[in-house]
Structures are given as C-alpha cells and as structure tokens.
Amino acid sequence: MRPEKILDVSLSSDRNFQGDNGALRLIIPANERSVRRGLLTIKSGMSNLSLSQEDWSTVELVIAEVLNNIVEHAYSDSESGLIEAHLDYSHDTLQCKVIDTGRSMPNGKLPKGAPKDLTCNIADLPEGGFGWFLIHQLTRDLNYARHSNQNTLSFRLPFASKD
C-alpha cells in the first residue's frame, strides 16, 4: 500500500495576500490524485477572492486540463516527475504559469485543440482530445516555451463576474 504523502502539496502565499490580490505557488507530484488535491488547495488558497461559481469552475477546469496533460503526456504517467504552478491573481484576472521537466510538446508547439466533428455515428464519436480545445477556448495569452529540458505554459484567465 502506498502511504499517503502529506507533503504532496506545498503552498506559499506570503505576499500580497490581502483583499483581492494573491499569489500561490504549488509543487505537486505528477499524478492524477495529486492534481485533484492540488485543485482543492488552489480553491482554498483563492478563497479570499470570493470568486463566483462560474469563474471558479473555469479556473478549476483549465488548471485540471493543463495539469492532467502534463501527467499523461509530458510524464506519461510515470509518477516520478514534479509539476510547479505559479498563480497570481487579482479581482479581475488570474495569471498562471505551469512548469514541468517532462517531454516536450509534440514538435515543440502548442497543440491546436481544434473542435471535434460530432456529426458522425455514435460509434465514431471522439472520447478524447477535448482538453486542448477547452484550454484554448477559455484562456487568453496562452503561451508555451521549451528551455533546457523544461516546459513552461502560461496563460491568463479573466474573471467574468463577481458575487
């Protein structure tokens, strides 16, 4: 049995953590359970913002897609890698930077994330490939860079509404 890792998620939020601004830094092992826990940590870390359900659901979905892509593709479920996420947020936007040391994106470029053709028989419906489509749809200023064995993905999420 694998012991629960208590130190899976490290969190520092020592600057600007007042009012509507904040910064979170997370380092998690590259596996799906840690991604799930990391999302909970981000939710509680950003609670000072009082985000609407709508805005939080976008943040949670985009970060989940980005982190799960790294687990599944950059590290291919090897569970040995780490993912580092930097989140800087204010009342109207979240700036996010995610770093890993797994494999490069295919051809060193961001996958396009084209919409899937659904006008087909049920048997031919796609079961995957929605992740990048969602990331492209929901983010602004999406950028990918590969430098010395390190992948950096950055993007911005504008908040639509406040409670």
Partner 1 sequence: MELNHKDFDNARLVTVCENRIDAVCAIQFKDEMRKLTDEGPRRVVLDMSQVEFLDSSGLGAVVAALKAKKVDQTLELASLQPAVQKVFHLTRMDTVFSIHDNATSAIGDAADAS
Binding site for partner 1 (CB under 8 A): 32-33, 35-36, 53-54, 57-58, 60-61, 64-65, 68, 71-72, 115-116, 118, 122-123, 125-128, 130-131, 133-134, 137-138
- Choice between 13 and 113, CB closer to partner 1: 113
Retrieve residue 45's tokens: 């870390």
> Among 85, 84, 90, which Cα is nearest to 16's?
90
Question: C-beta of 35: minimal distance to partner 1 in Å?
Answer: 7
Q: Nearer to partner 1 by C-beta: 80 or 137?
A: 137
Q: Shortest gap between Cβ of 118 and partner 1 (angstroms)? A: 6
DSSP 162: B
Nearer to partner 1, 7 or 118 (CB): 118
In this structure, the strands spanning 10-12 and 82-89 are unpaired
Strands 82-89 and 150-158: unpaired
